[in-house]
Amino acid sequence: MAEPHPQPPAHWSGSEPRQVVAPDGSLVGALPDDLDTTALRELYRWMVVARRLDRECIALQRQGELTVYPGHEGQEAAQVGSAWALGRDDFVWPTFRELPVALIRGVDAVQYLQYHRGTWHGGPYDPRATHFGPICIPIATQVAHAAGYALGRQLDASDDVTIAYFGDGATSEGDFHEAANLAGVRRLPLVLFCQNNGWAISVPTASQTAGEIWRRAEGYGFPGVRVDGNDVLAVYEVTREAVARARAGDGPTLIEALTYRIGAHSTADDAGRYRADPDVEAARAFDPIPRFRTWLVGAGHADDAFVAACDEEAETFALTVREGVVATPGPPAEWAFDWVYAEPPATFERMRDEALATERR
């Protein structure tokens, strides 16, 4: 069991977040009433699988099999808990750090990682089939896409819910504001899920915004909630409530999930330039995985054999994904042109032919 550090990360200060399981693994809130033992074990299993795959991806990058890779270590509870609260037809608009969400949505990990292998932009998976939008780099722009998609489903009188993932830094962007404002005006079936991990590359949340992010919701005319983002059950519960509100036609919710980016911004980033190792070690004391394991085992939902089986499965899965990634060939030259236009102009086709002829010489 991890010893909770007395000092949580600085950006967790202020309003108390919703919590179900405390950092020491003790139950401090009401358990979600719709999670049975099987579901509780699934939440744990996914967090472990996602953590192990993250480490494999970093290794793959170091070995030259992936280009730049943005890790998610420390954010597993925020992602697994929120993704678990979604219905099959609900639609996710991710950033570039939502690999755990992608796994839960059924996105093939090898396909997903083609993005980070430099094989394809956006994501080679089918966003419509997986209900998981293209990986999105330009900060907060996907929040506007999510608002539009939610509007589209609303106009179709569907009860599907849309969720947009973004970070603390994204709340400084105009697109976040514009999308949240539109969501409020149109009472869109939208969940705005902010993972406040304390860092926008090198800039801490305190230099990013002076207020508490969840409070912005009031200005847009819908509820905001602050949750312990390293508490998978609390994240699940607040997301479930937000999804239910959206599905009932009661409009959007802004969720601020307090978490911590244990790793660097990406494999191209040297976090040692802007933050001290002791701070990161302190944050590890709030690691979501040991916390949930302590409660899960203590409450009798799992035993050591289950924990070991999860580790084993995660190991096997990571190695299988590795094999798939390494075996993926580079894309053919035609792909640089194939899908730019649905109806390619003749001028474009002539240039494609010129380029491909040059490539073959």
**Distance (Å, whole) CA 35 – CA 41:** 10
Site for another protein in 78-107 (CB under 8 A): 91, 93
**Distance (Å, whole) CA 74 – CA 34:** 25
> What is the distance, to the nearest Å, from the Cα of residue 167 to the centroid of all Cα atoms in its chain?
9
Q: Binding another protein by CB under 8 A: which of 1, 26, 121, 334? A: 121
- Non-local (6+) Cβ contacts of 164 within 8 A are 93, 142, 143, 145, 146, 147, 179, 190, 191, 192, 193
- Non-local (6+) Cβ contacts of 24 within 8 A are 1, 4, 291, 294
Site for another protein in 252-311 (CB under 8 A): none
Residue 141 engages another protein in binding (rule: CB under 8 A): yes
Cβ 140 to another protein, closest distance in Å?
A: 9
Cβ(193)–Cβ(255) under 8 Å?
A: yes
Residue from 131, 265, 291, 322 carrying the catalytic annotation: 265
Active site (annotated) includes residue 261: yes
Look at the block and give the residue holding tokens 């925020």.
Answer: 78
Active site (annotated) includes residue 18: no
Burial (0-12, 13-18, 19+ Cβ within 10 Å), 79: buried
* Angstrom distances, CA of residue 188 to CA of 142, 177, 184, 294: 15, 14, 7, 38
Residue 326 engages another protein in binding (rule: CB under 8 A): no
Residue from 186, 215, 274, 352 carrying the catalytic annotation: 274
Cβ 123 to another protein, closest distance in Å?
A: 7
Cβ 213 to another protein, closest distance in Å?
A: 19
Segment lying near another protein (by CB under 8 A), choices 180-188, 192-200, 236-244, 246-254: 180-188
Q: Binding another protein by CB under 8 A: which of 156, 270, 277, 304? A: 156
> What is the distance, to the nearest Å, from the Cα of residue 361 to the centroid of all Cα atoms in its chain?
43
Active site (annotated) includes residue 236: no
Looking at the Cβ atoms of 172 and 181, the one nearer to another protein is 181
Residues that bind another protein (CB under 8 A): 91, 93, 120-124, 126-128, 133-134, 138, 141, 143-153, 155-156, 162, 174-175, 177-179, 181-182, 185, 338-343, 345-348
Active site residues per annotation: 261, 265, 274
